[in-house]
Structure formats: C-alpha cells, structure tokens
A = this chain, B = another copy of it.
Amino acid sequence: VRSYRQYCAAAKTLDVVGDRWSLLIVRELLLRGPSRYSDLQAGLPGIATNLLADRLRELETKGVLERVEAPPPIATTLFQLTERGRELEDVIDALIRWGVPLMAEPSHNDHFRSRWISYPAELFLSDNAPGEPPVAIEVRTGDEPMTIETSDGAVHARPGRTAETPDVVLAGPAQPVLGLLIGYLTVAEARTAGVEVTGDERVLRRLRPLRPPHPAMAR
C-alpha cells in the first residue's frame, strides 16, 4: 500500500505487486484460472482471510485482476487476472527459476499443493524427442493427482489423471518427487527417498534437461 515514490520501473511494479501475498495471489490465479474466494484461500495456505480480501480489492483497483459474477448455474463471484495481470507471468517465471534450487533444502512443515509443481515442471522440462508419440506422467503427491504430458514438443502440467494409463507414475513425498522430475535426483536416489516409480522410467529421461544433477534432494 505504501509507495516507494521512486521514478523507476522496478519500484513502480513493486508498488503494485510488492505487498506481502500479492504475487502469490497472482501465482494462484495463473495456475488455476478464474477462481472463487475459497479456492484461492485453499491454494494460499497461511494467508489470513482479511488479508486475502484486502489484497483482492487492491489488485482489483490496480487493474491486475477483476471480479466477475459467474452465470446463474454457478452463482458465485470469480476472480480472474486481467490481460495486464497475465503479463505478470514473466515475473512469476523468474521467481520460480531462481527459487527452484532452494527447493532442495528441507521442507518439513511447509504447506504444499500439488499444482505448485506445474511451474517447475513446465519451466525446467522439455521434450527431447518431439517426433515420438506423446507421453504422460502421473504424479501422486500432495492434495490432488497431477498429469504432466507432452503435446507436440511442449510439456504441460494439469490437475487430474490421464484418460488412458500413464506411461509412468510417480508417488511419494513432494520433495523427492520434484527432485526426480526435474533431474536433481536419479531414479535410484528418489526410490531411496520414498518415491514409488511405476512404469517406463525412460520417459523421465526424455523430458529432463541435459544439465548435471544437483546435490541430493532426498529429504
């Protein structure tokens, strides 16, 4: 709420989204699309309800999001990003890329929501064999199953299971599951850390970057 009063583009951006929780609200709206108040609350564990209401109001007046009344069958108010708000995706991307190395540190009492793996997955994975038939990975960790699949060269994550059987299923604690997914851990290390890997392990290698693995993420 308090402005830096600096004629600098970075400071101006922080005047809009620099308050505590604001960028995480944007993250949640990018991940979920138009959302109800209570869905945002569920996706933002730890936020006080008055703060969520405050931030939504502020971000609305600042043009980052807008409130729409859902049509009769649903009859609830939805919060969704404006075009300008969606442009904050580049900021979120940069935060995620910088933060992924921090995910290797222990995370005992951290909250976790399955959808949060979407960003690291999409930003750190790419299809190294776009010519071959598409593949799907089912990830079972956190509050809901997630599917990570290829579609013509791109890698995409979404909540839910696959229609058909996935090529490989990863189940277990969030940390080593993420570590295995993005290539910080080998299959063997992830197994030791409690990850169940079922199916064709080679699809993991197909999506992983060609970078060197990172010191153990097995918490």
Contact = CB atoms under 8 A, between A and B. Distances in A.
Interface in A3-29: 4-16, 18, 20, 23-24, 27
Interface string A83-100: 000011011111111111
A120 interface: yes
Contact of A6 (B9, B20, B94, B110): B110
A149 B103 CA distance: 40
B7 A23 contact: no
A125 interface: no
B98 A91 contact: yes
B14 A95 contact: yes
A95 B180 CA distance: 31
B27 A107 contact: no
Nearest to A115: B8
B90 A98 contact: yes
Contacts of A93: 94
Given A6-B113, A7-B111, 18 more contacts: A5-B45, A5-B109, A6-B116, A7-B112, A8-B24, A8-B113, A9-B119, A10-B99, A12-B99, A12-B103, A13-B95, A13-B102, A14-B95, A15-B102, A88-B98, A90-B94, A91-B94, A91-B98
